[in-house]
Chain A
Amino acid sequence: MKRIIAVLCIASLAVLGASAAFAAYPEKPIRVVNYVGPGGLMDVTSRKFVSIAKKFTDATFVVENREGAGGLVGMQAVLEQPADGYTVFAATTSNIAKVLTSKKDVDEFIWGFEWIAMLMKDPECLIAAKDSPLNTWEAVFKEAQEKKGAQLWTGPAAGGNDHLMAMKVWEKSGMSAKWIPYNTGPEAMMALLSGQGAVYVGNPADIGGREGFTIVAIARKERSPKFPDAPTFTELGIQGLEDEAMWRGFAMRKGSPEEAMAWWEDLLKKVAADPEWREFLEKDGIDVVDYGRPEFTAQIKKDIEDSTHYLKQYGLIK
């Protein structure tokens, strides 16, 4: 089925791309491989990116979906392709944690990639039900102390990015609680609304369009312009959570041509400055970035370090 989509996309895009410039890269369609299904967060992001990128390039993009094993299937699919720069992996923070929790080879699954373009930082935040008595950080913290570790926090999969954030908050604030994982973020939010937990860990966009939620703390240096009422962790007296975010970006196999990687870095700079792209992300309180290889690689290193530390501490890996 995905092949059919791919063929249809190529066919329709080939018509548009017939006037492609004679640049050395890209001289054929670029496949953007997603690890989520159509309509998933990264899928929507890649399709939007591609549609805006068309303002700046004649290149043809084909967005593909290779789901499975929490992203490992998609990563492997890209690693099996030649390192020619024509297969790009659409990655998010959760891929890094997934490689670590499933004990895959970091050198192969993470450093087998060149991390070329980081598009955004979606700040992590703690969300509570508006009508709950626990709708401020102080109240949450106080109850957590009283319950001595039995307070429940909700969110998606164990060991994922949001769970990691929860562990960071517990450590930095000196409290403890239990993580109840749900199938998806929205299900965990529904659980919060029905009183199953005290806090949901997610991103500001999660409360958009949904009634009854409030952000109790956000992991940003300053308050988010889109959510000015949400205090930062620093304001609440918790240090070390100034820059915790879920990122999305693109990666290519290690050993891909320098020209291809530089082309993507350059493309990202153009897209990141585009008003339509900024509006698409900023309306959800997401920070637009245009990181190239050095900054993105540094981010990946920090993620591996953090994940390993917390996953070990809470016994998810040895």
Chain B
Amino acid sequence: MEILSNLAEGLGALMAPVPLLVILAGVCVGILGGAMPGISPSMAVALLLPFTFGMSPAMGLVMLCAIYLAANYGGSVTAVMINTPGTPSAVVTAFDGYPLTRNGKAGTALGISLIASVVGGFVGIAILVLFSAPLARFALKFWPAEYFALAILGLSTIASLGGGRWLESFIAVLLGLLLNTIGLDPLSGVSRYTFDVLRLYDGFSFIPVLIGLFALSEVFSGIESGEIGHPPAAPDKERSPWPSLRDYMKLKFSMLRAGVLGTVIGIFPGAGGTIASFIAYDVEKRLSKNPAEFGQGAPAGVAAAEASNSASVGGALVPLLTLGIPGSSSAAVLIGALMIHNLQPGPELFTKHPEIVNTLFSSLLVANVFILALGLLGARLWIKAALIPKRLLYPLIFAFSFIGSYAVRSSVFDVGVCLVFGLVGWLLSRAKFPVSPVVLGMILGTMIEKNLRATLMMGGFSLFVQRPLSLTLLLLALASVAVPALRERRAARKGIL
């Protein structure tokens, strides 16, 4: 009850023109930033950080959190419409969102990604407000052994990503893992495969690789197939209907499950929204009655991906507010914002400045409502993206890919990286290799290597089995690979008999 009255108090403080405008501005910037390939949520937050220096601490934080939340939704728009994830966590949204658009169901894809984002966002905020203390204690149970096991569990999702193409998926994920070895060794700082190129010290920047693999490769394939001249399939209102309330209700459990998963995984620094969306997608596919639909345009796939990555925002704020430790790179920028206002992130914030925390919680709720409203308004506009003739769209994607890649570190080198990975992605998809396992390998590679080696330094391989949580996660990972494989074998044997 106290929580509710605190929230009400916070909401009261927000119901004035200035705070509402601040949230609205944050949501607008967030959606646009998220939709721009090359601007990840953490960059969108960082970009606007200097503007908050002149605001009151509460308003500054409110705006940055609104951007953070909205950017996680914004990434899905371009993922769905042009197969270009605007943010790393929207990679999974593209798996089913883009096929839906190609089948003329852009309305369905946009509608579900919006509603799932909003539902996921609410789930994340609710868990943050109600359970942040016990969740923070749970987060402390995670040692490198558990982080390693979590990453392995994430990796095991390739078993269902490749859609039956086991060998190709396996090779693709290995490619991702190998690419990760470039750069400074995460534990000893020794440089590996950098050839003394300064820009390679941190390995490949993730965003240019992402843009190359998804956006540019799509353009190359389009050029190759000669699609350019053809008029696009017009998704008019009739053929691209907005989902009905019943469609959404069918997905309610998917959204809730993905929301909870996203929040919980979002708590862990270094894991975050991207891994959450891969795992939530995998879970939904396994629970689905027609798993074959996934990857071809399954609404539940879009819902799972979006609900989990939006929910991870709430999760990432749990350790920030309870322990003073950021759960994601965006949350790390929020710490900078707190510091510039002479506020200490951490439990002291609750005791010394409860009004700021209450305002923050309530503002997340308001921001979520704004995302819903702006998303509904914007959808009419975004759906037109499918109408843009390819001969205009392709140069646009090209231009945005280059700008986006350059923007990450103001580096021309990254533009080259984007181009090279565009070619790699194109070659991979020509050879019928799935591209997403490469991304998964790149996300998880460092996490796996670092935590494996840290665990070995701490006490050797036995730690993985001695620690119950790590053992459970590893067994889950094993089962998630073994069960489908065994089932397939049994089915094959039956077929022979």
Contacts and interface: CB of A to CB of B under 8 A. Distances in A.
Contact of A38 (B46, B141, B324): B46
B291 interface: no
A44 B47 CA distance: 14
A51 B342 CA distance: 14
B198 A181 contact: no
Interface stretch (B121-129, B220-228, B298-306, B328-336): B328-336
B141 A47 contact: no
A3 B269 CA distance: 29
A29 to B, nearest CB: 15
10 tightest A-B CB contacts, nearest first: A39-B336, A209-B344, A69-B201, A209-B346, A1-B407, A194-B140, A39-B333, A38-B46, A209-B348, A186-B325
Contacts of A69: 184, 198-199, 201-202
B356 to A, nearest CB: 13
A313 to B, nearest CB: 15
Given A70-B201, A187-B325, 6 more contacts: A66-B409, A102-B184, A184-B332, A190-B140, A209-B348, A210-B323
A189 B189 contact: no
Given A73-B409, A187-B269, A39 B337 contact: yes
A68 B205 CA distance: 10
Contacts of B411: 68
B398 interface: no
B49 A39 contact: yes
How extensive is the interface on chain B, given as a class? 35 or more
B349 A209 contact: yes
Contacts of B458: 152, 180, 196
Given A186-B324, A190-B323, A180 B50 contact: no
Interface in A141-199: 152, 157-159, 178, 180-181, 183-184, 186-187, 189-191, 193-194, 196
Contact of B336 (A40, A63, A159, A316): A40
Contact of A194 (B141, B189, B335, B337): B141
Nearest to B36: A1
Interface centre among B144, B349, B409, by most A CB within 10 Å? B409
Contacts of A102: 184, 189, 191, 201
Contacts of B337: 39
Contacts of B38: 1
Nearest to B336: A39
A189 B198 contact: no
A193 B345 CA distance: 16
Interface in B175-214: 184, 186-189, 191, 198-199, 201-202
Contacts of A5: 47, 50
